[in-house]
Amino acid sequence: MTLWRDQFIRINEFTRPGIKRTMTRNLVWHYTANPGASAANHFTYFNNLRDRYASAHIFIDSKEAVCIIPLDELAYHANQANPYSIGVELCIERDGTFHVNTIKQALAIGKELNRRYGLTISDQLRHYDVNGKICPKPWVDNPSSWQDFKQQLFAPDTKEDETLKLEQWQWKDLGDALSNMYHLSVNGQVKPPLITDYTWAEKAYTGRLKRDEFAWLNMIVLKGTYEEDYKIRRENKMEKTKVEKKRLRNYGFWTALVSQLLLVVQIGAKLLFDYTLTEDFAAEIVLFVDAILVVLATLGIISNPTKPDGKYFNL
Tell me: the pLDDT tens digits for 70-126? Answer: 999 999 999 999 999 999 999 999 999 999 999 999 999 999 999 999 999 999 999
**Is-contact 245 313, C-beta < 8 A?**
no
Give the model confidence (pLDDT) of 267-288 as tens digits.
776 667 777 767 677 677 767 7
Mean pLDDT of 135-160: 88
What's the pLDDT at 311?
Answer: 43
Please state whether the peptide bond connecting residue 143 to the residue before it is cis, i.e. omega within 30 degrees of 0: no
What's the pLDDT at 259?
Answer: 67
Give the model confidence (pLDDT) of 5-15 as tens digits.
999 999 999 99
What's the pLDDT at 156?
Answer: 79
Give the model confidence (pLDDT) of 198-245 as tens digits.
888 888 888 888 877 777 777 666 554 444 444 555 666 666 555 455
| pLDDT tier at 315, thresholds 50, 70, 90 | very low
pTM of the full predicted structure? Answer: 0.53
Based on the number of CB atoms within 10 Å of its own CB, is 315 exposed (0-12), middle (13-18) or buried (19 or more)? exposed
Q: In terms of Cα–Cα distance, which of 257, 189, 178, 259 is closest to 216?
A: 178
CA 21, CA 84: separation in Å to the nearest integer?
7
38 contacts: CB under 8 Å, gap ≥ 6: 61, 63, 64, 91
Mean pLDDT of 140-163: 83
| pLDDT tier at 17, thresholds 50, 70, 90 | very high
224 contacts: CB under 8 Å, gap ≥ 6: 190, 192, 194
More confident residue, 163 or 160: 163
| pLDDT tier at 314, thresholds 50, 70, 90 | very low
What's the pLDDT at 224?
Answer: 47
What's the pLDDT at 308?
Answer: 47
What's the pLDDT at 310?
Answer: 43
DSSP per-residue letters across 237-274? HHHHHHHHHHHHTBHHHHHHHHHHHHHHHHHHHHHHH-
Please state whether the peptide bond connecting residue 308 to the residue before it is cis, i.e. omega within 30 degrees of 0: no
What's the pLDDT at 241?
Answer: 56
**Is-contact 243 306, C-beta < 8 A?**
no
Positions of E strands within the chain: 5-6, 26-31, 58-60, 65-67, 85-90, 124-126
What's the pLDDT at 121?
Answer: 94
Mean pLDDT of 120-143: 95
Is the CATH number 3.40.190.10 carried by domain 5-153?
Answer: no
**Is-contact 85 122, C-beta < 8 A?**
no
Check residue 210 and report its DSSP letter. Answer: B
| Phi, psi angles (nearest 5°) of residue 85 | -145, 160
Q: Is the pLDDT of residue 146 over 60?
A: yes
Q: Is the pLDDT of residue 306 over 60?
A: no
